[in-house]
Structure 1
C-alpha cells in the first residue's frame, strides 16, 4: 500500500492536491492507494509537530508526501519515503530568521530524510540542489499532469475584441505589468483570482474591459478556457506553469514567459515574451491577435506538446518510483 499524504485542503483555492488527484485513477489500476490529510493546514511550529505526530501510526509500504508539507516525511521510515516538492517559492519570499527556519523544516531536513525526491520541472530540481546541496541523482523530474477535463474545443470565432484569459493575481503572476502592456488594445480581459484594489485602479486607469472570478471550480475553469481566445501567462516565477498546458489541451493560443520553467513546459506551442518587459508582452499580444497563421501554428504545436503530460503517462512515472522502493 502507498500512503499518499496531503496537506489540509482548502476548497477556496484550486490546490496542488486537486492537480495530483488527476493521476489517482491511473495509479489505482495497479496499486492500493490510501489518502491521508494532515489535521492542521497552517500555523507555527506547534502545527508542524502536531501534523508529524498524527502520521506516525500510519502503516504502508511506501509513504508519499506531496503539497507544501515537506516536513511530514520526518514522521516515516527514511527508506520508504517519497517527497514531491513543487517549488521553492518560499525561499524567495522570506528573509532572516524566518527564512532560516523555513529552509531547515521545509527543505534541508525533509530532503535529507526522504529516500526519493520528485519535482515538477528542471528549474525546481536546480533550485532544490542549489538550496540544499542534494545529490542530483536523488531527484527525479515528474511533470504535473493535465486533467482530461481540459479537452480540445475548436474556436473558429474571429472577435473584434478577443478575450484574454489571465490566471492568478499574486505578485509573481505579473498582472500589473500585463495591464500596462494591454493599454489601448481592443480586448476583453478575464481574470481568475482576487483582484486587489491597486490592480483594480490600474485596470480602470488603463480603460480595460475586464471581469474576474474567485474560487472557481474545475468545471468553470474549463469553461473559461473554452470561451477565451488567448491565455496570457507572463509569470515571473513558477514551479511548473500548469495553465500553459491547460490552454494548449483546450486548443487556445498561449503567450507565456521566455524563462524556465514556462518555456520548458510550453515547448513550441506558445509565443514566448520577456515577462519583465511590458513592450515585449504587448508585441506578443499584437502578433498572436493579428497574425492568424501564426496563432494557428502555435495552437497546433500546443496540441502536440501536451500529449506527454497526460495523466496516464505521469502515473506510470510515479509507479516506477514506487516499484523502485519496493524492490530495495
Structure 2
C-alpha cells in the first residue's frame, strides 16, 4: 500500500513495472522461494501492464484531479466570499458583541449605548466615533424608553454597507428567519418613534424653549421699563405738589433781609434819642443864661 501510495502522483511507477516484465531467459522459472509455494522469479507482463495502467488512470486522472477540483472550488468560493462586503462571520461577530451590551438577552439596547456598541463592532459593520450624527441619520425605529431592537440596528448597519440594492430585501428576510430560528422567543414590539424624529423633537423643544426664554427676558425688560416710567411719573407729581404747597428756597427771606430792618430801626432810634438829648441840653443851657 505504501508503494502504491507513492506512485499515486505517477512518479516512479515505471521502476515498479520493470521487474514484472521479466521473462525467460532473463529469469528462472524454477527458482525456489523459501517460505512460499511459488516458484521462479519471472513476472507476468500482461497482468503488470494492465494493473499499472488502470491504477494510474484511476488514482491519478480521477482521484487526484477530483481533489484538485475540490480545492479549486473551495478557493473560488473563498474568493467570492472575500469579494462580498458582508459574510456570515461578520454577522456572527455582530451577535457576539451584542451579547456584551445585552447580557440579559432582552434584544434591546438604549440609544445611549448605541454609540459605544457601533464603535465596538468590527469592519465593515463598525461605525467609528464620533458617530452620533450618523446613527441619528439612520432613522432606526425606537420603542418606549429610547430602546432599539437588535434586528433594526443590524438592518441599518447592513444597509449602510450594501446601500439601497435589490438584494437588501432578500437579505433582510433571510436575517429575520435566521434570527427567529436562533431566538424562538422573539419579543414583539411596536415602534413609537425613530432616532431622526426624536432628534427633531429635541431640536424643536430647545428652539421653543430658547424663544420663550427670550420672550420672557424681553417681557421682563419692558415690564421693568414700565414700572420705572410709572415711578418717575409718580415721583414727578409728588414733587410738583410739594412745590405748590411749600415755598421754594428761592422765595424764603434771607438772614440779612430779616435782620437788616431791625438794625436800621435801632440805629434810627439811637439817633433820635441823641438828638433829643442834645436839644434838651441846649434848652437847659439857654434858660440858665436868661
Shorter-normalised TM range:
under 0.3
The structure that is strand-richer by fraction is 1
Larger RCO of the pair (alpha carbons < 8 Å, separation 6+): 1
Compute the TM-score of the two structures, normalised by the length of structure 2. 0.21
TM-score by length of 1: 0.19
* Larger Rg over CA atoms: 2
Q: Which has the higher helix share?
A: 2
